[in-house]
Amino acid sequence: MSHANPSAEQICQLLHEVHTVAVVGLSPNPGRPSFHVAQALQGFGYRIFPVRPLVTEVLGEKAYPDLESLPEVPDIVDVFRAPEHVPAIVDSCIRLGIRRLWLQDGVVHEEAASRARQAGITVVMDRCMFRDHTQLCA
């Protein structure tokens, strides 16, 4: 069975409910899509937690090596990593009780998304959080 994303209305509602976003794979390089999306999310009023090993800070926020190191459980995890990393991220989300997972454009892992949904996690896959916020919730 292939993954079905929430409806446009449900995505907009989700984006209004969340306040903290763990951005996994957030690059400190201003030329990378993750940097632009996280910067825009900050501009929309979200608090971001950069999750990237070997980096101390991105966009003025302290960076963390993994989800387990965050100072609080984020409302949503936004993933900018290659699909092969998604199963481990899902494992962390399940362990930590994170209820929402967003896999950015091109990040597709059907099996991991299914496992996350079975654990009660809302999953949005192969969509851009910035674009959806702008287009669906304007």
pLDDT at 138 over 90: no
The answer to the question of residue 104 being in a domain is: yes
Tally the domains of the chain: 1
Mean pLDDT of 121-135: 97
The answer to the question of residue 130 being in a domain is: yes
The answer to the question of residue 1 being in a domain is: no
b/e sequence 91-107, b meaning 16+ C-beta within 10 Å: ebbbeeebbbbbbbeeb
Domain span holding position 70: 8-136
Better-scored residue on pLDDT, 72 or 137: 72
The answer to the question of residue 3 being in a domain is: no
Indicate yes or no: pTM above 0.75. yes
For residue 120, what pLDDT is reported?
97
pLDDT, tens digit (0-9, with 9 covering 90-100), for 98-115: 999 999 999 999 999 999
The answer to the question of residue 56 being in a domain is: yes
Percent of the chain at pLDDT above 90?
96
The answer to the question of residue 39 being in a domain is: yes
